[in-house]
């Protein structure tokens, strides 16, 4: 009896251990793959791309500060974090200027696809060149860029038909959501001397039917993106396709000192909402120094924005809008300058019912509102 | 195109080939300190309560709430600086 009891106790104890082991195995299985941290460039991963290829969802790739010459492809939900010391012993810099990825003017610097929710931190992405997304190309993905500088990238059109047009010198988003926090998108350009059309020197959102491209932007500056040799760049700061969605959070976003042929600050359509952003000191060599509103769409609202000191050589120093049924409300417009036309230019040829309401227009010159053709 | 409740001021010609519409004014908007980049409305701005509000636009650029039947023209809704009002609190004693 005692022997049977002892045997029973041992059996029960073994059962408990077995159960514990099973649970431990379950816990091990449940541990997220993101626990892994990789370091590049190192002896193990001689390139950043090699570390990305070895990483899985939720893993972090720490990048040693310095300049790496690569074009990165990301399809997983990884984190790329710049500023680490050799062998990633410590985080030396959070300032993005110390960790540079140079695309060698051959492709996007970073391509993010495949449903990735990647997070990029403390990086400078430069010298990329592509038809779409010189610096960052996003398609069917939802990445976050935090404290990233996208600078000195180029878009290059491949032909004069719409298939050859170029989009997004700094950042291009198609079918996905990009979140930008504390980023600088600066000094990106269209390829010099080409007459084919380029859209969005800094950022371009290109939507598909029922699949909008979305940007959530906070504490970010889109500045000094330009149109060299007077090429055909529309929307030197932002280009927003029909159906696109952009949300500016907080009060320190800035679209400034961008230069385009039309739409120095922003080129967009009348079904897009543009709210709560400061658009200042942008320039268009034709029309729409601050904003050019394209034709053919309606239902959007341009509200709660400051337009300060924008200029155009021709019409619409602050806003050049086609009359397509958009509501322009509660904006403050100050100190614009148009070479031959109005501060706010409304194209009378449209069939919509554009409303201009509750807006302050205090312009240096010349006219506040005038009905004439709003050409690109 | 329709215009209403705009303040168009300081231009060589205020309107060309378009009428100001309902509630249009042409006065200095009186910003707080435009020389130093502060384009909030000053307390004596004529843009304050010169509008009637826009459907669905419940907050201004700063995130301040647009409230009331008369609302301000421009991106900023004027708010007085908050000031402390001493309350006479009667402590509950059972």
Is residue A259 over pLDDT 90?
yes
The DSSP symbol for A279 reads: E
What pLDDT is stored for residue B81 in this prediction? 65
Alpha-carbon dihedral sign for residues B39, B43, B45, B48 = positive
DSSP notation for A155-219: E----SSGGG-EE-SSEEEEEEEEEEES-EEES-EEPTT--SEEE-SSEEEE-BTTB-EEEEEES
Contacts for A70 with CB less than 8 Å, ≥ 6 apart: A47, A48, A49, A101, A102, A103
Nearest residue in chain B measured CA to CA from A280: B37
Q: How far is CA A33 from CA A193, A269, A293, in A?
A: 48, 43, 46
Closest Cα partner for B78 from B46, B55, B52?
A: B46
Nearest residue in chain A measured CA to CA from B16: A370
Residue with tokens 């449903």: A115
Tens-place pLDDT, residues A74-86: 999 999 999 999 9
Whether residue B6 lies within 8 A of chain A, CB to CB, comes out as yes
Is residue A232 over pLDDT 60?
yes
Of A353, A359, A367, the CB nearest to B16: A367
Closest Cα partner for B2 from B20, B17, B14?
A: B20
Hey, is A29 helix, strand or coil? helix
Chain A partners within 8 Å of B17 (Cβ): 348, 370-372
Tens-place pLDDT, residues A14-57: 343 344 433 333 333 333 445 799 999 999 999 999 999 999 99
Q: What is the mean pLDDT of chain A?
A: 86
Inter-chain CB proximity B29 and A356 less than 8 Å? no
| CB contact at 8 A, A240 and A267 | yes
What pLDDT is stored for residue A22 in this prediction? 37
| CB contact at 8 A, A350 and A324 | yes
Chain A partners within 8 Å of B62 (Cβ): 251
Of A334, A356, A367, the CB nearest to B1: A356
Strands A136-141 and A110-112: parallel
Q: Which tokens hold the place of A184?
A: 């600088």
Alpha-carbon dihedral sign for residues B71, B73, B76, B81 = negative
What pLDDT is stored for residue A160 in this prediction? 84
How far out from the chain centre does Cα A168 lie? 8
Chain B partners within 8 Å of A276 (Cβ): 61
| Min Cα separation B88/chain A (Å) | 36
Inter-chain CB proximity B47 and A308 less than 8 Å? no
pTM of the model: 0.87
| CB contact at 8 A, A79 and A70 | no
Inter-chain CB proximity A306 and B9 less than 8 Å? no
Chain B partners within 8 Å of A353 (Cβ): 1-2
């Amino acid at each position: 009896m005692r022997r049977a009891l002892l045997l029973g106790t041992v059996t029960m104890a073994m059962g408990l251990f077995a159960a514990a082991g099973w649970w431990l195995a379950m816990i091990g299985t449940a541990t997220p793959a993101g626990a892994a941290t990789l370091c590049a460039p190192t002896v193990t991963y001689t390139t950043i791309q090699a570390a990305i290829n070895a990483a899985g969802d939720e893993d972090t790739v720490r990048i040693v500060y310095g300049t790496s010459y690569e074009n990165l492809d990301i399809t997983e939900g990884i984190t790329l974090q710049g500023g680490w010391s050799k062998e990633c012993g410590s985080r030396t810099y959070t300032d993005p200027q110390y960790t540079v990825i140079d695309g060698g003017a051959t492709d996007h610097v970073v391509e993010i696809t495949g449903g990735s929710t990647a997070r990029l931190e403390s990086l400078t992405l430069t010298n990329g060149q592509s038809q779409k997304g010189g610096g960052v190309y996003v398609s069917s993905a939802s990445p976050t860029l935090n404290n990233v500088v996208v600078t000195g990238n180029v878009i290059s059109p491949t032909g004069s038909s719409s298939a050859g047009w170029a989009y997004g010198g700094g950042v291009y988003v198609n079918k996905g959501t990009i979140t930008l926090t504390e980023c600088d998108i600066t000094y990106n350009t269209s390829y010099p001397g080409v007459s084919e059309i380029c859209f969005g020197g800094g950022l371009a959102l290109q939507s598909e039917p029922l699949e909008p491209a979305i940007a959530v932007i906070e504490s970010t500056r889109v500045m000094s993106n330009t149109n060299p040799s007077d090429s055909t760049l529309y929307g030197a700061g932002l280009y927003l396709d029909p159906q696109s969605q952009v949300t500016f959070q907080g009060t320190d976003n800035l679209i400034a000192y961008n230069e385009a042929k039309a739409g120095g600050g922003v080129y967009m359509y009348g079904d897009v909402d543009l709210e709560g952003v400061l658009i200042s000191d942008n320039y268009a060599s034709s029309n729409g120094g601050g904003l050019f509103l394209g034709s053919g769409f309606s239902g959007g609202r341009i509200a709660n924005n400051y337009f300060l000191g924008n200029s155009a050589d021709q019409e619409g120093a602050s806003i050049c809008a086609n009359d397509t049924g958009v509501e322009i409300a509660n904006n403050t417009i100050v100190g614009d300058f148009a070479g031959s036309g109005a501060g706010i230019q409304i194209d009378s040829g449209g069939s919509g019912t554009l409303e201009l309401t509750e807006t302050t227009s205090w312009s240096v010159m010349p006219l506040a509102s005038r009905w004439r053709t709003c050409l690109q | 195109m329709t215009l209403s409740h705009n303040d168009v001021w300081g231009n060589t010609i205020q309107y060309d080939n378009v009428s100001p519409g309902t509630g249009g004014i042409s006065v200095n908007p009186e910003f707080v300190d435009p020389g130093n980049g502060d384009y909030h409305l000053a307390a004596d701005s004529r843009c304050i309560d010169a509008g009637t509000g826009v459907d669905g636009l419940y907050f201004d650029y700063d995130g301040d709430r647009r409230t009331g039947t008369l609302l301000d023209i421009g991106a900023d809704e004027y708010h007085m600086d908050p000031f402390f009002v001493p309350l006479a609190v009667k402590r509950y004693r059972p």
